[in-house]
Structure 1
Amino acid sequence: KSRFKEIVGLVTQIGSQRNQLIANFLNIFSIPQIASVSTSDILSNNDDYPYFSRVVPPDRFQAQAMVDVMLHFGWSYYSMVYSEGAYGANGMGHVNRIAKTKGLCNAYLGMLPLTITDYTIYDEIVQNLRSKKAKVVVLFLEPIHIGELLTYIDKYNAQGEFIWIGSDTFEEPDVEKFPETVHGAFSIQLTAQPDYDFITHYENLTPWNNPQNPWFKAFWELAFDCIWDVNSTDNRPLCTNFKSLTESEKHKKTPWVPLLIDTVYAFGYALDNLIKKHCVEDIGNKQDLLHCVQKSDLTAFIRELDFRGSSGIISFDENGDAKGAGYVIKHFIPNRDTGYEVIEIGSWIRTTETLDLYTRDVYWYNDSKTAPNSICSQECGVGEIKIQLELPCCWDCFKCYANDITINNSYCSHCPTFEWPDESTASTCTLIEPDFIKLTSDYLFTSLFVLASLGMTATLCILGLFIYWRNEKIIKASTKEFIYFLLVATVLVYGISFVYLLNPSVIMCYCGRVGFSIGFTILYAPLLVKVARIYNIFRAGSKLQLNLPKWIEIKKSLIITFALITIQVGISVGVILTAPPDVIKRMPVETEKFVEVVCDFPMWSMIASIVYNLVLVLATAALAFLTRKLPDNFNETLHILLSVCATLFLWLSFVPTYFITYRAKHQQMLFSVMFMLTGLVSILCLFAPKIYAIMFIDESKITFSSTFSFNTKQKSNSENGHKTRPKSLPNTTLT
């Protein structure tokens, strides 16, 4: 009892849970206490613990350092495991509170009771950690829980699945049995520099030079697992065989010793200041000095201290917490010899509340070069909006329509017609560049341009040949005026195919619209007149009608041909005046980034021209069919029939396809190909047979029995009062 009354202060190096009990007890006697490792914020309550001080900062700053590490590496989603009690629960609360204010989210929270009877709780915690997407796990654990948790991590072969951020208890020797499991882990440690003078002194202590310590011999027995009794039957070695603590395998250099030294110095400086101020007269008298100290407020002198300790300047605030103390960031990296080593990669400074990391030395599992992600949801891509879930870090991504922009990543908004979201952010609408025909890069159109040129050149060459051969019987028999007309028409057809290979413009639209209508008319109007002329001549000949219709004459036939073409011209002019074509931009599909320049005219405007051309083609086909068996050179009507049938096939193939094709470029290509094929059909069916006959068949072997003229002056035989057929018809050429 008397010895207890001599106590003026207490130094402790135990956890916060037990320090609470001791502090409550010491409050009764107004005895000040200084702790070296107790960090719970509960002990910062000066009303409940007025005599408690400590040389370390409270856990709220350690929690902030942990959150700053996560922020530094961009980890927004974390799990947490903590121990029951003041230390773990208080640390957990601070981490979650600070993390929430910084926009971080907790994926899973696991609590380990201080007393565990059912160890399946570790199975449950590990399985819950693995089921979440959080890569980072914050640990605020008592030392007794750290080793067990890492044991179960190894049990489930979960090494490398998590990045541990441990509190100040995450250190050796609790983790040394799990070298691979702790690779890449971080630990927030209290700042404390080793006191090498004390280390030397401590390691030189022996039971023989330290007899004043009554517990040192027992400590020696534990350190070497030995016995002192030489007569003992115990098989353990004698303690006298060991001469230095450094020989013990259990000898570890605990990092907390410098902090304990600081607490002793704190009491020493505070007592010295108190005695110098209030008890100078009592120096030399132990009882009077003790009485003077006990009646004075030693706690006030402790709170006023300001001296350099192992962790820097030691001073206390009004709650007894260390002011300037910060943290060092320790990092566990692989080591080929020891399995792992702990390096210092940065610090957290309390005075400025800032983190300073040397990330160059950071190791990631499997020697990855980049920090792994620990996020709940990946950032939404361009053109996606966030659908927020319960946690602020978690969301689903919803893909907007292709022609939508995103407004604040929250909702989609359509771009106006002819505009499209910018590719980099999809946050603004920009005009779409219209798609134009580029003959230098659109190889298909370039090929068509070349083919049309070849077709037109071939037609012009044929025209030149026929002019050169104009006196050939085959040319004369086929009515050379119509041949020239058809060749010129074929040249125009190829010319129209060129028009459809050009980019839309006002002139191109008018030419294309008129060309589509008149292109077939100028080709099939002369064919119709030619076939009708042949049909009527032979019909008259078969009935012995010597008086032919006047329109059979070539000049009148040409006039009829021009009249038929004029009708189509009139139809086209009327339609154009009613619905003139225009050049507009068109976006066929709103959700496709494609704008084209097109010739705009209503579909009904083409119907009259199509119907008229169809009548010409069908009439030509009908007459060609009726005259298909005419003899000799007049079997060209069979070729005309083939030409007409091929044209009808082209119409049935290309015109419907044109109307169901939604891209103007493809529509232009279809019409261009259709006109080129029409020209090719004309060449092959109408002109190629004549060229072959002139070049490869001897004209003397060609009979023109079907070439004749009708003598309108010949009289009939009236001997019996009846008309009789002449015995023979003059063999003359039909012109």
Structure 2
Amino acid sequence: MWVILNISIYLIFNFIMSASILGSNTCQLQGHFRLNEMYHDGDVILGGLFEVDFLTVFPDLDFKTEPEPPYCVQFDMESFQQAQTMAFAIDEINKNPNLLPNITLGYHLFDNCVMLGMAFRAAISMASGTEEFFNNINCTGPPPVIGIVGDSSSTVSIAISSILGLFRVPIVSHYATCSCLSDRKKYPSFFRTIPSDAFQVRAMVQILKYFRWTWVGLIYSDDDYGVYAAQSFQQEMQLFGGCVAFSEVLPHDNNLEDIKHITKMIQASTARVIVVFSTPSFLIPLIDELVLQNMTDRQWIASEAWATSFVHHSPRLLPFLKGTLGIAIRRGEIQGLYEFLLRLQPTNDPKNNMIRIFWEIMFGCNFETGGKKNSGDQVINICTGQEDLRTTKTPYTEVSELRASYNVYKAVYALAHALNDLMQCEDGRGPFSVNSCADITNLKPWQLVHYLQNVNFTTDFGDHVSFDKNGDALAIYDVLNWQPSSDGSIRAQTVGVVNEEVATGMVLTLDEDALYWNFESKKPPSSVCSESCAPGTRLATIKGLPVCCFDCLPCGDGEISNITGAVECTMCPDEFWSNLDKDQCIPKEVEFLSYEDPLGISLTTASLLGTCFCVLVMFVFAVHRNTPIVRANNSELSFLLLLSLKMCFLCALLFIGQPQLWTCQLRHVVFGISFVLCISSILVKTMVVIAVFKSSRPESKGAMKWFGAVQQRCTVLVLTAIQVVICAVWLSTASPAPHKNNQYIRSKIVYECAIGSVAGFSMLLAYIGLLAAVSFLLAFLARNLPDNFNEAKFITFSMLIFCAVWIAFVPAYVSSPGKYAVAVEIFAILASSFGLLLAIFAPKCYIILLHPERNTKKAIMGKEAQNT
């Protein structure tokens, strides 16, 4: 549709622009439009499009005569002020010797009547000119207007820019916000002094984020402004993490059924915040319906198109709309504008019929009767031009809230500064082909676009004006709050600012103390689908529902969330663990077998008790060292065995307490050497028992010469030295060291000794096992020797206990977590040591202490004689 419309208008435009030849050198305008306009001559003319009238009237058609052109009615004072602001800005520039010296600006302003067709007529009139005849056979020369200020409507700006953009006519809008107009390919010469809807939407989302409103309703008007703004808003809400509870379109025809449907959606929704992108005219039916439904429990968020509208400020709407938050374009101050507006006088110039209409509305003048008005039988001349506008308060003279008018002011100055920069160009240094400059006497609009793109200045009010690569101005908005006034109406109070900054993006500054809330609590409402997840939990989306509707699940062990509304839980660092509330990481409990631990106390007691038993047995053997039972069992090896057993008991203490480097290195070395010394002593004792038995037989009388005291000592020393070598190699290659283990128990740090080398530890245990197996085998073979040599039975039994303990140790050690693995190892050491001590020495001590009568050579040798 737009393509067809653009082509049609393009053809009309060319038809009008290509005037017909009425002679040898005259061009004639092909048609006239009936438009409200204002005109002031100058060297360079700027055009303007303003919504001075609200309605367009189309005369009836009889299809017999040429139809009358449409005309405009319902004069708007506020829009007329905007038009007059453009006239004021041009007048101010013409008086400024530092800006455009020797150049007089003029203007040609038109009323678009809030109608696309009328706006097209006005745009074509500005582009083609309104002179009846043009005395140039080629119809060439400077354009009637060099740039246009307007239009205020996004829809009109889209249409006009599509056509005039083909000729690169610069258009600077003061109120068109559609983000679609930022497309430089479609609209190469469009600029604006108001931020686009993309910035407006971000500003409104900043307000939602500030109050944590994530569940909102969306209502938008059925036009370009509303549709594009709604699309941008939903995209921004997704980025923000919010959701749109419902999205409804305000119909352009104000259909009552559609309005009622929207009202029902608002009532049914759990969203307490409603965002509205609309112009005031679209909203009136909806507001009326809300009044009928007495709906006062909603927080309204107004877009800039209606946030400053006086249409909704009546006392009737106060209960429903007070507390509304909205954003508005930046309010500015223009020095001297008020006095200029008051100086407006009627004129007989037909091209300034907007002034004539204004005067007729203000004072009832009738210029068709010479400015006289009948009052009864008296004829009064009231249109002398001396009437004082101060006596009547209207939006025309209200300059305390200059927003759209301030943007008009900036737009005019932007064009003026672009022209001024163009005039400063030096020949040979210009931006155009072969470094040429523009000719002011034959200026082309596209040349002005180049300078307009790079314009950069600051207004007297202190606002910086420049355009980005898309022709958009810097984004800055006032945040408004609709508050009740003393007369029962609504006043829009500025309570904050939203600023777009290059480094930080959108920044919202809000004075919360100045806010008015239309709720009993006098506090901002809560508008969420699901309450934010507390610290220690994370949100989990519910299938089939928007992301704002979720469940809160507790964080897992070792995970935390320390913020409200966390999407994911965070794992604690390796040496930390989550607390019970799962909202903080605390240092993990360090676990090791300590002396304060009940288990540690028990094992320490057992270790010391075993050591004491060894000392006690040594004392008993030392006291009775000359008795037959001590002498008969090789007292030297017995003392060596007791000493090694005492070392075995004491080495268990190295496994208790916080691991240190020296304890880790000593514990296995002392353990390995002590047990090898112990087992090698038992092995030699077993070998001696066998040798003594054999030497008692006539055929083996020389057997004992190979098992003398020296040989016994050397055997024990050599067997122990092998273990010493194994330990030395182990410590030098991969020494055991303290290690914080997180694998056994995730919530604790198990402080243990890493063995360093599995091969070294395995060889240490294997060597002990080898000696124990040989000792057990020899003792088992010698178990049936005569009773006077019955120590072999005790050795067999002791080695059976030793092997059973260490065979059971391996699976128990592997399956025990943390400190219990150390406890199992200590238990194995103590159990095997107690087994050896009791099995070998308990019978001897029993005889020595309780039956000394059996501790005689005769008693020991008696059974031998009996057996022989």
Give the match for residue 162 of structure 1.
Answer: 271
CA distance, structure 2, for counterparts of residue 460 and residue 371 of structure 1:
80
Q: Counterpart of 1:306 in 2: which secondary structure?
A: coil
Give the match for residue 32 of structure 1.
Answer: 75
**Residues 345, 357 of structure 1: 8 Å contact kept:** no
**Residues 683, 774 of structure 2: 8 Å contact kept:** yes
Q: 1:145-544 maps to which residues of 2 (within 5 A)?
A: 145=258, 147-151=260-264, 161-165=270-274, 167=276, 174=290, 177=293, 183=297, 185-186=299-300, 188=302, 271=359, 282=371, 304-306=396-398, 317=405, 327-329=480-482, 356-357=511-512, 371=526, 373=528, 437=592, 439=594, 444-445=599-600, 447-470=602-625, 474-501=629-656, 507-541=662-696, 543=697
User: Using a 3 Å threshold, how does the CA distance of structure 1 residues 146 and 320 change in structure 2: closer, same or farther?
Assistant: farther
CA distance, structure 1, for counterparts of residue 615 and residue 214 of structure 2:
77
Match of 2:726 among 549, 572, 587: 572
- The CA deviation string for residues 55-85 of structure 1, in whole angstroms up to 9 with x for no partner, is xx99979978854541321345655244x63
CA distance, structure 2, for counterparts of residue 146 and residue 433 of structure 1:
62
CA distance, structure 1, for counterparts of residue 403 and residue 728 of structure 2:
102
Q: Counterpart of 1:165 in 2: which secondary structure?
A: strand
- Residue 689 of structure 1 aligns to which amino acid in structure 2? P
User: Using a 3 Å threshold, how does the CA distance of structure 1 residues 306 and 538 change in structure 2: closer, same or farther?
Assistant: same
CA distance, structure 1, for counterparts of residue 406 and residue 578 of structure 2:
58
Give the match for residue 210 of structure 2.
Answer: 72
Is the counterpart of residue 640 in structure 1 residue 749 in structure 2?
A: no
**Residues 33, 51 of structure 1: 8 Å contact kept:** no
**Residues 219, 275 of structure 2: 8 Å contact kept:** no
TM-score of the superposition, structure 1-length normalised? 0.54
1:525 positional shift = 1.4
Give the match for residue 237 of structure 1.
Answer: none
Long gaps (5+) in structure 2: 1-50, 60-68, 80-111, 123-149, 154-174, 178-196, 277-282, 322-340, 345-357, 410-476, 500-508, 540-545, 560-565, 580-584
Is the counterpart of residue 674 in structure 1 residue 828 in structure 2?
A: yes
Match of 1:94 among 211, 229, 235: 229
**Residues 684, 716 of structure 2: 8 Å contact kept:** no
1:143 positional shift = 7.5
Is the counterpart of residue 700 in structure 1 residue 853 in structure 2?
A: yes
- The CA deviation string for residues 337-383 of structure 1, in whole angstroms up to 9 with x for no partner, is xxxxx999995559888755569986999999994546999999999
- Residue range with higher mean Cα deviation, 620-629 or 434-443: 434-443
Give the match for residue 248 of structure 1.
Answer: none
CA distance, structure 2, for counterparts of residue 276 and residue 178 of structure 1:
40
- The CA deviation string for residues 176-222 of structure 1, in whole angstroms up to 9 with x for no partner, is 6577xx746446596799999x99xxxxxxxxxxxxxxxxxxxxxxx
1:629 positional shift = 3.9
**Residues 529, 561 of structure 1: 8 Å contact kept:** yes
CA distance, structure 2, for counterparts of residue 485 and residue 473 of structure 1:
18
User: Using a 3 Å threshold, how does the CA distance of structure 1 residues 349 and 662 change in structure 2: closer, same or farther?
Assistant: closer
CA distance, structure 2, for counterparts of residue 694 and residue 355 of structure 1:
98
1:643 positional shift = 1.5
1:433 positional shift = 10
**Residues 571, 609 of structure 1: 8 Å contact kept:** no
CA distance, structure 1, for counterparts of residue 851 and residue 519 of structure 2:
94
1:529 positional shift = 1.8
Q: Counterpart of 2:218 in 1: which secondary structure?
A: strand
**Residues 216, 271 of structure 2: 8 Å contact kept:** no
CA distance, structure 2, for counterparts of residue 350 and residue 507 of structure 1:
68
**Residues 165, 185 of structure 1: 8 Å contact kept:** yes
User: Using a 3 Å threshold, how does the CA distance of structure 1 residues 691 and 302 change in structure 2: closer, same or farther?
Assistant: same
1:459 positional shift = 2.5
Q: Counterpart of 1:317 in 2: which secondary structure?
A: helix
1:490 positional shift = 0.7
- The CA deviation string for residues 622-660 of structure 1, in whole angstroms up to 9 with x for no partner, is 222223345657544333212211211233233566679
1:482 positional shift = 3.0
User: Using a 3 Å threshold, how does the CA distance of structure 1 residues 591 and 146 change in structure 2: closer, same or farther?
Assistant: farther
Q: Counterpart of 1:708 in 2: which secondary structure?
A: helix
CA distance, structure 2, for counterparts of residue 693 and residue 598 of structure 1:
44
CA distance, structure 1, for counterparts of residue 655 and residue 745 of structure 2:
27
- Residue 613 of structure 1 aligns to which amino acid in structure 2? I
Is the counterpart of residue 85 in structure 1 residue 225 in structure 2?
A: no
Q: 1:110-129 maps to which residues of 2 (within 5 A)?
A: 110-112=247-249, 114=251
User: Using a 3 Å threshold, how does the CA distance of structure 1 residues 666 and 636 change in structure 2: closer, same or farther?
Assistant: same
CA distance, structure 1, for counterparts of residue 685 and residue 598 of structure 2:
40
TM-score of the superposition, structure 2-length normalised? 0.47
CA distance, structure 2, for counterparts of residue 351 and residue 573 of structure 1:
77
Long gaps (5+) in structure 1: 1-16, 117-140, 200-250, 257-265, 332-341, 385-390, 404-408, 425-429, 711-725, 731-735
- The CA deviation string for residues 255-313 of structure 1, in whole angstroms up to 9 with x for no partner, is 89xxxxxxxxx99x97599769999x9566678869889xxx9xxx9775127xxxx86
- The CA deviation string for residues 73-116 of structure 1, in whole angstroms up to 9 with x for no partner, is 1345655244x635xx7445435546756854665764457499
Taking only aligned residues, the RMSD between alpha carbons, in angstroms, comes to 6.9
**Residues 682, 775 of structure 2: 8 Å contact kept:** yes
- Residue 164 of structure 1 aligns to which amino acid in structure 2? V
Q: How many residues align?
A: 551
**Residues 496, 512 of structure 1: 8 Å contact kept:** yes
CA distance, structure 2, for counterparts of residue 364 and residue 450 of structure 1:
73
**Residues 282, 289 of structure 1: 8 Å contact kept:** yes
CA distance, structure 1, for counterparts of residue 524 and residue 396 of structure 2:
49
